[in-house]
Structure 1
Amino acid sequence: MTATETAIATVTLTIDGQSVTVPKGTTLLKAAAKANIEIPTLCYLKELAPDGSCRMCMVEVEGGRKGGLVTACTEHAKDGMVIHTQNEKIRNSRRFVLDLLLSNHKLDCFKCPSNGDCKLQDYSLEYGLLETSLHGRRQPANQQDVTNPFFDYDPEKCIMCRRCSRVCQLRQGRDIISISHRGFDTKMLPCYGEDWDESMCESCGNCVSVCPTGALSSKDQRHFRTWETTKVRTTCPHCGTGCQVDLLVKNNTIVGAEPANGAANRNLLCVKGKFASYKFVASGDRLDTPLIKRNGQFEKATWDEALSLIASRFGALKATYGGSSLAGFSCSRSTNEDNYVFQKMMRTAFGTNHVDNCARVCHSATVHGLAQTLGSGAMTNTIADITQDVDTILLIGSNTTEAHPVIGSQIRQAVQNGTKLVVIDPRKIDLARHAELHVQAKAGTNVALINGLMHIIIENGWADDAFIAKRTEGFEEMKALVADYTPEKVAKICEIDPADLIKAAELYAKADKAPIIYCLGVTEHSTGTEGVMSMSNLAMLVGKLGRPGCGVNPLRGQNNVQGACDMGCSPFDFPGYQKINQPGVVEKFERAWATDLNPNVGLTSTQVLPAAIKGDIKGLYIFGEDPIVTDPDISHVRKALENLDFLVVQELFMTETAEYADVVLPGISFAEKDGTFTNTERRIQRVRQAVQPRGGAREDYRIFCEVATRMGYPMAYPSASQIMDEIASVVPTFAGVNFKRLEAIEGLQWPCRSQDDPGTPIMHVGEFSRGKGLFMAIPYKPAKELPDDAYPYLLSTGRMLYHYNTRAMTKRTAGINQLAPHSYIEMNTQNANEMGIKDGDKVRVYSRRGTIETYAAVGDQVLPDAVFMTFHFPDGNVNEITNSVCDDIAIIPEYKVCAVAIEPVK
C-alpha cells in the first residue's frame, strides 16, 4: 500500500444504529460528530490532543474489554465497531460523573456569572441532577482570588478538567497554571500557589475562554448573562495578526469578547484582544460632534458648518497654491474601504499625491525592499505555515510575544513541538528564553550580521546553487561583497561571539523548512530598506522562498497597515501598488475615476512635516493618526502643525494631535462599521458592525465622500461592499474579492485575481513576482547617530504587550492601566549600579533633541551601555528625544538607534 493510499484509508462503524465511514485514525468523538451525534465533554479541546480525564464522553463498544466502556475522545474508530452513546449504561455512567462533580461544587447558579453558559449546568439538567446525592467533606469555601484585574477564580466552582492549565501550557506556551495540593484541597493555581496578580500570568484570558463552568470568569460577566447577548464576528482592531473575535453585545453596548476560530488565531486572543478590544468603543470621552476652533477654543458645530468650512478652506488653498500644497495622512487602523476612499478623495478633489499612512514610520522599508528584490512587498507565507511543521525559525528584530502576542504564542508552541528557534535581537526578549540560540547583536548592525551569515553559508557550501542559477540574478556581485564579511569581522561590528554567528548560519541553512520572521527591529533604521533586502538575499541564497515553511515574513504592526498600503495610501502608488510613475497608470485611474489626476509622485509623511515647516505644505487632513505621539523628534512635529494654514483631524478621541486642529471631525470605530481589514499575511477579512454609532459621529468614508463632493468631485457609495467592488475593478490582485466570498470562507489572501481564484497562501511559487529574484550587494553602514562621551547610551524603542501605539484605545481599559501605568526605561544592572539608580527610580533622559523623565527598569534585558523605551506613554514620551533622520529609500525614521545620556532625578 502506498503512502497516499494509507493516508486516505477509511474504516466503517456503526454509531447508535447509523453507519459512519471516517478516515483511519479518527476518534469516536469525531466520528460521532460526523454523524451529527453529540457526545458530552468537559475536558476536551479540539486544538489539543485528547486528555480523557473528565470521563463524560464514555461510550460503549459492543464486545469490548472491561465492560466495553471507553472514552470517545481517545478511542480510535475501527472497522466493524458497534458503538452506543445513549443507552442506560452510558447515561448512568455520566450521571455518576456529574454526581461526583456536583458533590464538590458550589451550587449558586443564580449568582454565578456563567449561569446559562456552563457545561456542568447544561449536562446536569440534561441528565436530571439538580443536586448531589453524595455528602461529606468538600472544597473549603470563600477562597476566591479576585486579584487579577480582568478575571476572578473561584475554586468551589472548579471541576478540575484542566482545560485552563492545558491551554496555558500547550497553546499559550506559558505554563502558569497547575494543579496544587491534594484531596479536597486540590485546586488550579498559578505557579508556587501565589495570587494571580503576583504570578507571571500575562492576562491573555484564554483560560477564562475555555473554562466550562464559572470557576474562571471575566469581571465584566458580572454585568450580563450570555443569553442576553448577541455575538458578532469581526476582526481585532489592534496588531496585524488579524485575530477573529466574537463581540458580545447587550443593548447596543459591547460587554465582552471571545476568541473565534480564525485562520490566524485559531481560538486564541491576547490580553488586548480579550479585554481591551471593545471598552474604548463606549468610552464617555468619544467625540460625537464636529468641533471648530474659534479664538483658540473648540466649539461644537453642525456637520454642515464643519464640512462647508473644510471644503472652503482646502479649496481656497488649492486655488491659490495648487493641489501640491495639500496633504493627507490616512489611518492604518481603519478599514480598506475607508482608506481607499480617503486616498481617492486626496487625489481627485484635492489634486495631490501627498498621501501616506503610518507604514512610513514602521514597514515602508518592507514595502520598498521586498518589492525591489522579489516583486511584492508583503509577507510571503501564512502564519500557520511558518509556525507549524517547521524545523527552524530565524526571528530577527521581532519581540513577537509583545508586539504580535498570538503569533508569539504559536512560536512558543512550535518550540514545544521540536522547532529550533534562533533569535537575533539586541534585547533579551521573552522568546530568547525559548531559543536554541540568542544572538544579542548591537542595534543597527543587521546588514553586517546578515552579510556574515551569507559569508558562512557560501564558504561551507550550504547555498542552494540550483535555486540561485534558475531563479535569481545578481548573485556574483553579492557573493563578492560578502566575501569580506568574515565571522571575526562581523562579530566585532555586532559585538557578538563569532561561534554564535556560525551556529545561526548552520541552523538556518541546513534546515529543510525555515522561515525568516522579522519586524521593526529590521526596518526602523537609516538602513532599513537595505536590512529588508538582506533578509531577501539570505532566503534566496538557501532556496527558502516559494515553498511551505519558509519565506521572508514581515509582521506588520497595526491591524490594517497592510491594507492601507494595498489601498494606495502612499505617495508613490495608486491602489494595488500601481506606480504613479509607471507608464499608463495615471491614465488608467483617470479613466476609472473620470477626472484629471496629478501625475507627480508625492511626498511621504516624513517629508510633508518638514515641508510644512518651510511653508510648502499649507493644508493637512489627518485621518486617525497621532504624529505628535508617534513621530520622532516631537518638537519638529509641533512646529510643522503650528505652521499649517489649515489642519483637519478626523478621530475617535481628542488626541494630542487633534488639539492642534482647526476642525475636528468625529469618526466611528471598527465595531460601528462594516468593511475589511487585511492582516500581516495578506488575508482580507470581514469587519462587521456590532453596535450603532453614538451621538452624531458619522461613517468615515461617507465623510470623505461629502468633503470631495463639496470640493467639486461628486463621490458617493451606498455601502462598504460597493467600495470593495470598485477596488476589485481597479486592483488586479483584488479582482476576485467581494463581500459575498468573504462571508463564505476564512478570508482571501491576495493576489486573488478572479472569482474562482482561492487566493495565494504562498507567494513566489515557481517564479518571483518580478520574474527572477534580485540579489542586492549591500555594504554595512553604521547608524547615523552613535553614542559618544556626551551621550554614552544607545537607545532603542519598541512596543510592549499591554498598550497599543498611542494608547488611544487601550488606555480606556482600567485593567490595562493597572498593569502598565507609566513609562519606563530598561537599563542594564551594571550601568544602573554605576549611577546609583535602583529599579523604579525616576531618571532624566537627554538626547540632542530634548529631555524627558521616566522610571528605571533595571535588569539584564538590555546589554551594558544600551537602553530601551516604549512610545506608548504621555509621561516620558520617548519620541521627544528620538532621531528623525531617515532611510534614503523608504524615508523611514531611525527609531531603533540614537544616543542619549541618563541621570537620576534627585
Structure 2
Amino acid sequence: MTDPSETPDRSFEPNPTVCPFCGVGCTIEYAGRGGATGVEGPVNARGEICPKGAAAFDVVDHEDRLTEPLVRHNGSFVTAPWEEALDRVVDGIGGVIDEHGPEAVQFFASSNCTNEENYVLQKLARVLGTNNVDNCARLCHASTVAAMSERLGAGAMTNSLDDLREADCVFVNGANPAEQHPVAFRSYVLPAVRDGATLVHVDPRANDTTEAADVHVPLRPGTDIEVANAVAAVLIEEDLVDEAFLAERTTGFDRLRERLADVDVAANAEAAGVEPGTLREAARAYGEADRAAIVTGMGTSQHRCGTDNVHALLNLALLTGNVGRPGTGVNPLRGQNNVQGASDVGGLPGVLPGYEPVTDPAARERVAEEWGVEPPAEPGLTEVEATHRFGDDVRAAVVFGENPAVTEPNATAVRSAFDDLDFCVVVDLFETATAAHADVVLPGSAWAEKAGTVTNTDRRVMRMRPNADLPGNARRDFEVLTALGRRLTDRPEAFDYDGPEDAFDELTRVAPIYEGMSYEGIGDGYQRWPFDADEGSGTEVLHEEAFLTGERAAPLAVVDPVPPADELDAGELTLTTGRVLQHFNSGALSRRSDRLTAMRGEDVLQVHPSDADDRGVEDGDRVTVSNERGTVEATAEVTPAVREGVVFCTFHYAEPLANALTGDELDPAAKIPEFKHSAVAVEPAADAADGSEAAGDD
C-alpha cells in the first residue's frame, strides 16, 4: 500500500465519517500515515473501533485503484476518456432496451455505498421501466426481512443497540458478533452479560462469541427450526409463556400450541445433534428472563428455509411477550455498513423506497408525482434469479459497487453466465472478478471520498463526509450515476441534482419512514426511522402499542422443519461458511489491506478430530473440498471447535473461493440461497498425499 502521507497528488484531511465495514456504524476519521482512528460517535460513544476500522484507509490510496475508465477493445481493456466510456454504456444498455425491453437489464445496487447513490440507481432502473434492481441483502438478510415484514410490518431491528444492555437474556442465533460486530458486542452485549444477563449461543461452531456464552447449542446446520420448535415446546410445557401478551397482542396461539404438543424435545435434540438438556436450559434462560433479546445473523438466514427459520424465532419472542419493550425483540445484525439503507431506499425488486410494494397503486402514484414517471407495477428479478437468466431473459447488467461473480452461490456457473450477457458495465474501485467480464468499467469513489448518508443496523441514518480527494481521473459514484440517468432516460431533469443532499431531500418526500429527516437534523449525530417529523425524533423500540402492520396483534406461525437442499452421501460432510474478524465480504477490499492481510494467517478448513482421523487428515495438511459444483483447496485445522460431521471455512481467501461449492437453490419466499449447508467430500490434497510441498495461497 502507498502511504497517503507520501502521495503528493492527493490530499487527506480528518473529517468524522462512518466506517465502511460492518453495519454497526462506528465513527472514524483519517489519522495520518494511512491510518484511521475512532472518534466519539452515535454508536461508538467512546471512540473505539475494531481492526477493520483501523485499516479502512488501506484501500483508499491502493496502487491497484482504477483511475481511468476502461473499455473493452479486441477482447482486452484499454483506457478511454469519460465521454467515450459513457457513450459506450448508453449504446450498450440502450441497445439492449431497444431490442429486448427494459426488463432485459438487471441493476445491482450496493450495500457498501450511500443511501443517495442507491436511491439514484433504483430510480434509474424504474424510470427506464424495470424493477430489476437488487442488492446483496438478498444474499444475507432477505429471509429476515421477509419474515419480519410479514409478521411485524418491518424487517429491521425491533430495538436499538443501546437497549440490549437492558436484556436479562441475549439469545444469539446463527451469528458471531464478537468477531463480526466487535464494537457492538463489547459495548452493548458484554455489558449486559457482566450485569448478569444469560448469553445463549446457537451455532454449529464454537467461536469468540461462545467463549462469553453460558449456554452453547452446537446444532447441525439446517436444523434451526427443530431447535426453535423444541425451545417453544419447552416454553409452553413449563408455563414460561406470557398469557396476557398472547391474549392481547397475538393470534393463532391455540393452533401453534396444538402443533407444538406433538414436538418431542428429545427427538428434535437428536435431529439437531445436541443434548436435550441443553435445549431445555436454553429455553429456560430465555423464558424465565424478564427481558430477553434475540440477536440473529446469516447463520439463521442463509438457508433454503431461511424465512421459516426466522418465523420460528419470531414465535419465541411473541410467546414470551419479548416484543415492544427495551431489552427485547428480534435484532438482525447487518453485515455491511449500508445493508439496511440500500434496502430502505428501494434497492429491492419488490418494493419502492420505504418498503412500499411496487404492486400498490397509491405508492406508485406518490412516487410518480415526484419523478414524473410511474414505476412498473410488477416485481422485478432478484439478483440470483437474474444471474440464472443471463443470456436469456436478461441481456445486460449494471453492477454498482458489488462483486456478484464472487458473492453469488455456485460462483463458477455465475462467472460463466456473465459471459452470456450482451453488455455489462461495472462501477467499482478495482478490477474485480466481475469487472473481468465487463464491457465498460468506470472508476468510482471509495468510502472516504464521498458525502452522503448510510443507515446502520439499528436504523440510525448518519452522515458520511469525505476525508480524501479522488485519485487520478476517478469520479464520485453519485456523479457517475446521475450522469447515466441523464444520458439513458428521456427525463434527464429527473437526475439533475445539486448534490447528495438534494437527492436525500427527495428521498424524504418519497419514503415515508424517512419523512422529516434532513442533513441539518442529522448533523454529527443521527436520525432514526421511523421518524416522527412533528416530534423531531425517531422510534427506538418498535411495536410498543401496535405492530408496524397497523395491527394490534401479530400472528403466531406453525413452522415445520425443511430439509437442506444438499443431501449427504456416505462419507460426505456439511460445509458451512462465514467470516472472521479480519475478513470482509467478497475479499476485494480486505485482500488489499496490508493490515488485515497481516492478521490473516492460514486459509483454513476447520475439521473435527474424528472426521479428520477418518480421512487420514492431520492438522496443517492441505486438503481438497469438493462436490459436483467445484473444488477448493485449503489447509486443515483439526479442532473440536467445529462439531462432528461439519467443516467450516471463510468465504474470502481460498482459491477458488468457497462459493464455488455453495448451491443456488433458493428460499421460496425470500429468494435467498443456501450458503450455510453444502454437501462436500474432504480428502488430503494430491500434493500432500505424495509428500510434495503444497503451494501457499496468494
Partner residue in 2 for 1:891:
671
Q: Deviations 1:551-591 (Å, cap 9, x if unpaired)?
A: 10000111101000001011100100010112322222222
Q: Deviations 1:99-120 (Å, cap 9, x if unpaired)?
A: xxxxxxxxxxxxxxxxxxxxxx
Partner residue in 2 for 1:233:
16
Counterpart mapping for 1:289-368 below 5 A: 289-348=68-127, 350-368=128-146
Choose 1 or 2 for highest CA Rg.
1
Partner residue in 2 for 1:442:
220
Partner residue in 2 for 1:562:
340
Partner residue in 2 for 1:187:
none
Counterpart mapping for 1:701-716 below 5 A: 701-711=478-488, 712-714=490-492, 715-716=495-496
AA matched with 1:890? A
Range with bigger deviation, 893-902 or 484-493: 484-493
SS in structure 2 at match of 1:612: coil
Q: Deviations 1:640-697 (Å, cap 9, x if unpaired)?
A: 2011000011001100110000000011011111011101101111110111111111
**Partner residue of 2:364 out of 561, 569, 586:** 586
AA matched with 1:307? L
AA matched with 1:632? P
Distance 1:318 1:221 in 2: 43
AA matched with 1:811? R
**Partner residue of 1:780 out of 556, 561, 565:** 561
Shift of 1:827: 0.5
Q: 5+ residue gaps in structure 1?
A: 1-149, 151-218
Alignment partner of 1:863 is 2:652: no
Partner residue in 1 for 2:497:
717
Shift of 1:596: 4.0
Q: 5+ residue gaps in structure 2?
A: 690-698
Shift of 1:416: 2.7
Partner residue in 1 for 2:695:
none
Q: Deviations 1:293-338 (Å, cap 9, x if unpaired)?
A: 0111001111111111111221121111111111100010000000
Alignment partner of 1:769 is 2:544: no
Partner residue in 1 for 2:693:
none
Distance 1:701 1:738 in 2: 18
Distance 2:361 2:503 in 1: 26
SS in structure 2 at match of 1:515: strand
**Partner residue of 1:248 out of 21, 31, 36:** 31
Instruction: Please tell me whether the aligned partners of residues 633 and 882 of structure 1 are also in contact (alpha carbons under 8 angstroms).
Output: yes
**Distance change (3 Å), C-alpha of 1:230 and 1:296:** closer
Distance 1:223 1:439 in 2: 51
Shift of 1:819: 2.0
Partner residue in 2 for 1:472:
250
Alignment partner of 1:663 is 2:444: no
Shift of 1:850: 1.1
Shift of 1:639: 2.4
Instruction: Please tell me whether the aligned partners of residues 12 and 30 of structure 2 are also in contact (alpha carbons under 8 angstroms).
Output: no
**Partner residue of 1:607 out of 385, 391, 416:** 385
Distance 2:19 2:427 in 1: 21
**Partner residue of 1:280 out of 50, 59, 64:** 59
Distance 2:339 2:233 in 1: 34
Distance 1:272 1:625 in 2: 19
Distance 1:798 1:229 in 2: 34
Partner residue in 2 for 1:17:
none
Alignment partner of 1:632 is 2:409: yes
Alignment partner of 1:404 is 2:181: yes
Partner residue in 1 for 2:681:
901
Instruction: Please tell me whether the aligned partners of residues 568 and 576 of structure 1 are also in contact (alpha carbons under 8 angstroms).
Output: yes
Instruction: Please tell me whether the aligned partners of residues 736 and 756 of structure 1 are also in contact (alpha carbons under 8 angstroms).
Output: no
Partner residue in 2 for 1:834:
614
SS in structure 1 at match of 2:641: coil
**Partner residue of 2:194 out of 411, 416, 435:** 416
Partner residue in 2 for 1:647:
424
What CA RMSD, in Å, does the superposition of the two structures yield over aligned residues? Answer: 1.9
Instruction: Please tell me whether the aligned partners of residues 576 and 647 of structure 2 are also in contact (alpha carbons under 8 angstroms).
Output: yes
Distance 1:473 1:568 in 2: 31
**TM-score, normalization: structure 2?**
0.94
Shift of 1:484: 1.6
SS in structure 1 at match of 2:60: helix
Alignment partner of 1:617 is 2:369: no
SS in structure 2 at match of 1:863: coil
Distance 2:616 2:588 in 1: 35
Distance 2:354 2:390 in 1: 28
SS in structure 1 at match of 2:34: strand
Range with bigger deviation, 586-595 or 331-340: 586-595
Q: Which has the higher contact order (CA 8 A, sep 6+)?
A: 2
**Partner residue of 1:696 out of 473, 483, 486:** 473
Instruction: Please tell me whether the aligned partners of residues 3 and 61 of structure 2 are also in contact (alpha carbons under 8 angstroms).
Output: no
SS in structure 1 at match of 2:97: helix
**Distance change (3 Å), C-alpha of 1:829 and 1:434:** same
Shift of 1:475: 2.0
Partner residue in 1 for 2:696:
none
AA matched with 1:408? F
**Distance change (3 Å), C-alpha of 1:223 and 1:285:** closer
Alignment partner of 1:258 is 2:41: no
AA matched with 1:583? P
Instruction: Please tell me whether the aligned partners of residues 4 and 12 of structure 2 are also in contact (alpha carbons under 8 angstroms).
Output: no
Give percent identity, aligned residues only: 37
Aligned residues: 676
AA matched with 1:667? G
SS in structure 2 at match of 1:232: coil
Shift of 1:755: 5.7
